[in-house]
Structure 1
Amino acid sequence: MSIPQNLKYSKDHEWLAAEDGLATVGITQHAADALGDVIYIQLPQVGDRVEAGQQCGEIESTKSVSDLVAPVSGEIVALNEAIAEDPGAVNTDPYGTGWLFKVHIAEEPGDLLCADEYIAFAG
């Protein structure tokens, strides 16, 4: 499993790339593989406030429906509009074109994992 070293990870299998108080969020390859073929993603809306560790959307695959959990608290400022047309991008490129949303970070939780910690956690 290829895990980018420059990202932070949640125990709910989301990743985030944070810079200057803005985080891009997606799901990890581990989560995408576990879900199977993703067919629909319900994202929060721009302007919504999300809380770290709380559900902010859903991801539907051919196997199941799973909660999308916010890895940080803050306000949603952008959505990956292309994901509605091609939700399978989270399977094929979860760390690139499969990103889900951007959030202005209000508070970053202390329980985010570095890549090596996530690898050990996810196994």
Structure 2
Amino acid sequence: MTSTNIPAELRYTAEHEWLRKVGPSTVRIGITDFAQQALNDVVFVQVPDIDAVVETGESFAEVESHKSVSDIYGPLDGVISATNDAVVDTPELVNTDPYGEGWLVEITVADGADLNAILAAMLDADGYGEAIAD
């Protein structure tokens, strides 16, 4: 496997998802460079509808390659506030730009949820790097 890009400004899950805060209560989510390399050629992406409820640990989307189908699990509780239509139409964006144009969805957390505290509890770049090195 080639070297893995792990941007320092993002947060990560053990399930190989990245999160970027894009608003006071909203995060953008995608799969990591490590995950897209493991999948290889992504051929299909399924994302939920806007306003769909996402629960921590529950599957809410799928990324499919020639090798396998991978569920994407909710990294936090919230509601889908945006989906990336470009990645649905052009799934290979997950491979070519996993942290940019290859993002999957945006989730808005419930009113009163402390997004900063939720993100602080997730893996930082160093922690994720250590997790995938094992």
Normalised by the size of structure 2, how large is the TM-score? 0.87
- The answer for unaligned runs of 5 or more in structure 1 is none
Normalised by the size of structure 1, how large is the TM-score? 0.94
- The answer for unaligned runs of 5 or more in structure 2 is none
Alpha-carbon offset, residue 85 of structure 1: 1.4
Query: Counterpart of 1:68 in 2: which secondary structure?
Result: strand
Aligned-residue sequence identity (percent) comes to 41
Query: Counterpart of 2:95 in 1: which secondary structure?
Result: helix
The answer to whether the Cα contact below 8 Å between 1:51 and 1:74 also exists between their aligned partners in 2 is: yes
Higher helix share: 2
The answer to whether the Cα contact below 8 Å between 1:15 and 1:71 also exists between their aligned partners in 2 is: no
Is residue 15 of structure 2 the alignment partner of residue 12 of structure 1? yes
Query: Counterpart of 1:82 in 2: which secondary structure?
Result: helix
Q: Distance in 1 between matches of 2:126 and 2:119?
A: 18
What residue identity is the alignment partner of 1:121? A
Is residue 44 of structure 2 the alignment partner of residue 40 of structure 1? yes
- Counterpart mapping for 1:100-115 below 5 A: 100-106=104-110, 107=113, 108=118, 111-115=121-125
Is residue 70 of structure 2 the alignment partner of residue 66 of structure 1? yes
Which residue of structure 1 lines up, in the alignment, with residue 81 of structure 2?
Answer: 77
Is residue 35 of structure 2 the alignment partner of residue 31 of structure 1? yes
The answer to whether the Cα contact below 8 Å between 1:72 and 1:109 also exists between their aligned partners in 2 is: no
The answer to whether the Cα contact below 8 Å between 1:16 and 1:26 also exists between their aligned partners in 2 is: yes
Aligned length: 123
Of 92, 96, 102 in structure 1, the residue corresponding to residue 100 of structure 2 is 96
Measured on the aligned residues, the alpha-carbon RMSD in Å equals 1.3
Higher strand share: 1
Q: Following superposition, which runs of at least 4 residues in structure 1 exceed 6 angstroms of deviation?
A: none
